[in-house]
Structure 1
Amino acid sequence: MGRGQPGRRCRPGAGLADGCGGAGRRQRPGVRPGGGVADPAAVGAAPGAPGPGGVDGGPDRCPAYVQGLSSKRRHAVRREITRFREQGRRVDVLRLGESYEVLGPLLAQVQRKYGHPSTDARMVDLLEQYARVLDDQSRVFLARDPRGEPLGYALFFAWEGVLYARNVGFDYDRLPGGDGTYFTLLFYAPIAHAIEKGCSAVHFGMGSQAKAARGALIRPLWSLLFPPEGVRHPSPAQAAEWNDRCGARWLEEYRRYATQLPEEEWPRRGAERPGGRRPR
């Protein structure tokens, strides 16, 4: 049975910026029964390798992105960026191969905060494995304090002109809530970098309302369950009930952003063929 999950993505135009090489207008995401995000994953050279120095994620660097938000949200974005700047912090853009030893302990803090047993050494090893095969595609946005000490990071991978978020890490003991660091790293700095390098989109992964509120476009992702042998398969009616229940929960949670994805675009039982099968 399929289970819908909202994905998050900013596109050119109102969603990301006119300067990203897009058509200069917001594109409504499409949904295909049984499908997910339809981006190819062919091996290719990743555009826009990071250079020395850092990136400024301020609204002056991505004006079209900021103007595409609601008035209330524009003020909130500017406030978050201002708070980050006022503390003398900066964001460096690095490769994973030159930074994984610094990032590992920050990632371990996030893992432990959300109930996953982890150690600094284990997370350093994980990021080193990523670097062995994906270093050229890696983009690390590393926040530093005025003394140059690391505060947090967001790891993205560049693939066929799109930035994909992978994970984040933070030094929670040194980051009070509401200081603007989280969304500067996860949103504003990557968006400014994407504009500068000519990327076509930024994919923010599985999401939250906070991402949608900051302009991310919503795209349902679907999974297909094949029960192990010997396990009773759900009936078409059970599968339809599950999908409807998930759809209702999604609509309730994201109702305020429903104009991005009208309800009729959510695959429903009416699109099924006899026998409970959906059209290919």
Structure 2
Amino acid sequence: MTTRPTEARNPATLDLDTLPTREALARIVDEDAAAVEAVRAALPAIAEAVQLADAKLAAGGRLHYVGAGASGRLAVLDATELTPTFGVDRSLVTAHFPGGAAALVDSALDFEDSGDLGAEDLRDVTGADLVLGITASGATPYVAAALGEARRRGASTVLISCSPDPVIEAGHVIVLDTGPEALTGSTRLKAGTATKVALNAFSTALMARRGRVYSNLMIGMSVTNEKLRERAVAVVRAATGRDEAAARAALRDAGGDIEVALVALLGDAGADDARAALAEAGSVRAAVARFEGRA
């Protein structure tokens, strides 16, 4: 049986248990730095996945993440952060984890070998959707079955694998060639780092394309506490160059909606007109453009 790269022993850390603490830490972090470079090498493939996902969402489809173990937990983390960060509806991006919420927080409940669960969890996928499988080994049965079911239902499929030769089939494959772990087989380390960086980059670039970002500012974030209310004021000020009083007034008139406040200030429009322009145009930049050149 061929040993997958993520399961091989790393010659750089064979003496890990004998090293002084600081040197052990340095070796581990050096391996993580290599993981980031593995993501950089995969950027062309990640960019294609972003474009594919953007097209699906623009046509009314949904995005599904599928993963188990450390990979699946990172996928759940990324998916759950999209609503508070970008204001997207929770139904738009769903993370599927074998065994559900109970298994997510209890690693003793391990269902990653269950192909039946993988197929069952994707029973509501349609041809309008994109399914992104995440697996360090490139061979996780739960992910394989989920992507197989997704293809059967006509959905587009993408696979993120830390093995350069994944056995799972997908329409588009992203390889994060991270190699052997500092601690043999512990893919929560280098493979996990690469997976998190890749998912963060993928989802953030996707949301930017979907108009959920203005400049490098979070304009769709959910404002649920005082800290975030103050951040909303700071975002409006940074985007418009207006003073605090103007930013607070625009947010008040917009009912706390950052995007409406931005369009109102940048387009020199009332909140109602700004809201209507935003609904029609789909993004702050496009909405503001509607007010440019007015007499």
Higher strand residue share: 1
Q: TM-score, normalized by length of structure 2?
A: 0.27
Computing the radius of gyration from Cα coordinates, the structure with the larger value is 2
Higher helix residue share: 2
Q: TM-score, normalized by length of structure 1?
A: 0.28
**Which one scores higher on RCO, CA 8 angstroms, separation ≥ 6?**
1
